[in-house]
Amino acid sequence: MDKKGVGVALGVAVLSGIASVMGGKNKKVFNFSAESWSAGDELPAQIKGMVKEYIESGQNPKGIGSLMPKILSQITVQNQDKGRLIGALNNEARKYTPGAPIVKRKAPKFAGTPFKNLPPLPKGKDEYILRMAPNPNAALTMAHGLGILVNELYVEKYKEAGFKAKSVLRLDDTDPDEKPPLADFYKDKSSLVFQDYKWMSGKDPDITYIASDNYKDHYEGIERLMNMRYKGRMGGGMAYLVEGMPGTSIESNMQRCRAKSVEENIQQFQWLVNNQKSFYVSENGEIVQDDNSPMPEIRLRLSPAIIQELAEDLMSETRAMKFQDAKIMRLCRNPHPRHPDIRLWPTLKYQGPFDDWALNTSHVVRGADLIDQEDFYHFFYPYVFSNWSDWHSNSQLPVFLYWPRFNFIDMDKYLSFEDPKTGKTIGINTMSSSALSKIVKNPPFNGNWEHEDLPTINSLRLKGYKPAEVKRWWFSKFEKKYATSYGRAELLRYPLQERNKDGSVNFNKNWYHGRGIIKVNGLNINFIPPVKSFRKPKFQDMNYEETIGYLNNLVQNCPKDINQWDSSEFEDFMTNLSKGMSKLRLGDLQF
C-alpha cells in the first residue's frame, strides 16, 4: 500500500470516525485545539503508535474508525476546526514507511465454477463468516440445499483467495409452540439435518450453533436491556415484562406494565427465569404464580427519540413503529424437546440478531421472504450491542444478500394441508418448512419424511440422486447478469431425472413423476442496501484519482466549524464520504 493510499485511508477513516462521534446517534461534540498536538502539525505520539500498529498488522483501513474512542481520549477537548487534524494526518502519512509488508488480497474469482456469474460478496469485515439458519421443525428442503451450496462455495473461494472464512449452521429452535423442533433431526452429528448438510456440501459446517442451547445468554441480554436507559426514556429500561390477572389478555395489560421501573422488571423477570411459570402481580406488589394467567412476555420499550431516528434510518415511520412494544421473549405452553424444563424462549426478532452478534456473523445470504427480519438488526446493533463491548466486541452489522422465493407450478395439487382455523385446504407452491411440517402429518405421508414426493434433500438422497445432479440443477438457474432487482419469472422443466432400478437414468420422467412444469423466479443474489440507495455522485464512473479528488474537495469545502452543522449537513457529508470509501475499498485500498 503506497503512502498516498495510506494518507487517504487514514484521513478519510479518522475523519469519518470523528464525524460519527460528533454527529452520530450519541450526539456528542468534540473540538480540537492547538494544544492537542505535540508540536505544530504533528500527531500526538500516542495516536501515531496506535495507527502505525494498526496498519502494520495488515488490517483493513475501514477498521481504523474503531480506534476513534482511544484516539479521542488522547486529544484535549477544546476549540479548533478540523483543518489541523487533517493536515497532521496527511503529514504523518507522507512520512510513514511500513515496518512490515502488507499482503494485498484480491477478491476471489468465480470463473470456471457454476457460480461464475455470482457477484462477489460486498466488503464487510476482515473475516468472512457466512451463516444459514434453518428451523429444525422439518427436514431440510431443496431451498435449504441452495443456501448450503451458496454459503459453502463462498467460503471455499474466499479461503482460496487468502481470506479467513467460515460457514455456520445455526439452528433456530426457540419456538416450541408454533414451530416445534424435531429433536431426533438434530440431536447429534448422525442426525438427519447434519447428514443432509454434509451430503449436499461434501463437508460439515465449520461452526454449528443451536439457538436453544444458549438460552442463558438470551436471558442475560434481556436483563441488560431492562437496565438500559437511553435517549429520553426516564426511569425505565429498553425492555419491560408484561403479566396480568387471570381472565385478562397481554394486550390489556401492556399500558400498565410499560410504566414499571427497572427494578420491578428485573425482579419479575428473575422470578420468571427461576420458575418458568405464569404469574401476576397483586395490588400489594406480590408475585403470585397462577397457570390461568396470560403467558408473560418481554417487549421493547423505546423512547420517541429512538423511534424517530429509526424512521429516518429506515425511511419509513411505519417500519419504525413496529419496534415499539415488539415482543422479544415469551413463555411458551409446549415443552422444548431439547430442554423440557425451559419454557421461556426468545422470538426471532431478538434471537436472530443476538445470535449473529454472538457468532460475529459477517454475511447472510438467504431468501427474500426473510427481508423484514433485517429491520431488527438495525435496532439491536447500533442501539444495543454497541453498548455491550464488555461482552462481545462485535458491533458491525452483517451484510445481507437475498434471492427470491421459489414458486413451483402444480405442487399444490399433492402438497396441501387443512387450516385448523378455517377448515380450508391450503396447497403450497413454495418450499416452506413450516407448511411441510403440517402436510407430512397427513396421508399419504403419515409422518414419513422419507416419502418420495416431499421436496426434501433427504428424499432426493434416498432415491439415489447424487449431490452433483442437484448442484447442476440449481446452478443452471443463475442468470448471466445481476441487476439490482429480482429477475423476472421464468418457466422451465425440472432436469433431475428419475432413475431405473439398475441405476440408469429414465429420460421419460422428470422428478415428481413428470407432474408438470415448475416455475422458478430468476435467481439473482443481490446486495440490497439496508437503509438507503445512493444515487449521486456516481462513484462507479470515477477512477481512483477522481475519487480521491472528490473526497478531498468534500473535506475542504465543509463548513469550518463542524460543531455548527445541522443534521442534514452531517447526513449529506457522511453519506458521500461513506460511499466514496466503499469505492476506494473496492479498488486500490482493498487488501
- pLDDT tens, 345-404? 999 999 999 999 999 998 888 877 787 788 899 899 988 998 898 999 887 888 887 766
Q: How far apart are CA 410 and CA 331, in angstroms?
A: 39
Closest CA to 143 of 528, 452, 521: 521
**What's the half-sphere exposure (Cβ side, CA atoms, 13 Å) at 417?**
18
Q: How far apart are CA 365 and CA 121, in angstroms?
A: 9
Question: Per DSSP, what are the bridge partners of residue 361?
Answer: none
pLDDT at position 270 is 98
Closest CA to 297 of 314, 317, 272: 272
Q: 488-541 pLDDT, tens per residue?
A: 222 222 333 444 566 554 444 333 333 323 333 344 444 333 332 222 344 555
**What's the half-sphere exposure (Cβ side, CA atoms, 13 Å) at 391?**
17
| Residue 277 Cα distances to 217, 267, 273, 330, 347, angstroms | 20, 15, 9, 11, 18
Task: Return the beta strands (E) in 188-242 as ranges.
Answer: 207-210, 239-242
CA-based torsion, 201, 203, 207, 211: positive or negative = positive
Q: What is the full DSSP assignment across 25-90? A: TT-----B-GGGSSSTTPPPHHHHHHHHHHHHTT--GGGGGGGHHHHHHTS-BSS--THHHHHHHH
The grid coordinates of residue 562 equal 463542524
Over its C-alpha atoms, the chain yields an Rg (Å, rounded) of 27
Amino acid at residue number 34: A
Q: How far apart are CA 240 and CA 340, in angstroms?
A: 26
**What's the half-sphere exposure (Cβ side, CA atoms, 13 Å) at 501?**
0
The pTM assigned to this predicted structure is 0.68
pLDDT at position 235 is 55
Closest CA to 310 of 299, 296, 300, 295: 300
The grid coordinates of residue 6 equal 495510506
- What is the full per-residue pLDDT of the chain (591 aa) written as tens digits? 443 444 444 444 444 433 333 333 333 333 333 333 333 344 455 555 655 565 555 544 444 444 544 454 444 332 233 445 445 544 544 444 444 343 445 666 666 555 554 555 655 567 889 999 999 999 998 889 989 988 998 898 888 878 889 999 999 999 999 999 999 999 999 999 999 999 999 999 999 999 999 999 999 999 999 999 765 554 579 999 999 999 999 999 999 999 999 999 999 999 999 999 999 999 999 999 999 999 999 999 998 888 888 887 777 788 888 999 999 999 999 999 999 999 999 999 999 999 999 999 988 888 777 877 888 998 999 889 988 989 998 878 888 877 666 666 567 777 777 777 788 887 776 778 888 888 888 888 888 888 877 888 988 888 777 888 777 777 665 543 332 222 222 222 233 344 456 655 444 433 333 332 333 334 444 433 333 222 234 455 555 555 555 555 555 455 444 445 555 554 565 556 555 555 544 433 222
What region does 21 belong to: left with phi over 0, alpha with psi -120 to 50, or beta? Answer: alpha
The grid coordinates of residue 292 equal 390461568
Q: How far apart are CA 273 and CA 568, in angstroms?
A: 45
Which DSSP state fits 382? I
Prior bond to 495 cis, omega within 30?
A: no
CA-based torsion, 306, 308, 311, 316: positive or negative = positive
pLDDT at position 435 is 83
Q: How far apart are CA 306 and CA 302, in angstroms?
A: 6
Q: How many residues does the chain have?
A: 591
The grid coordinates of residue 432 equal 416452506
Closest CA to 403 of 200, 113, 172, 145: 145
| Residue 50 Cα distances to 19, 53, 88, 99, 102, angstroms | 19, 5, 15, 14, 17
Closest CA to 277 of 340, 332, 213: 332
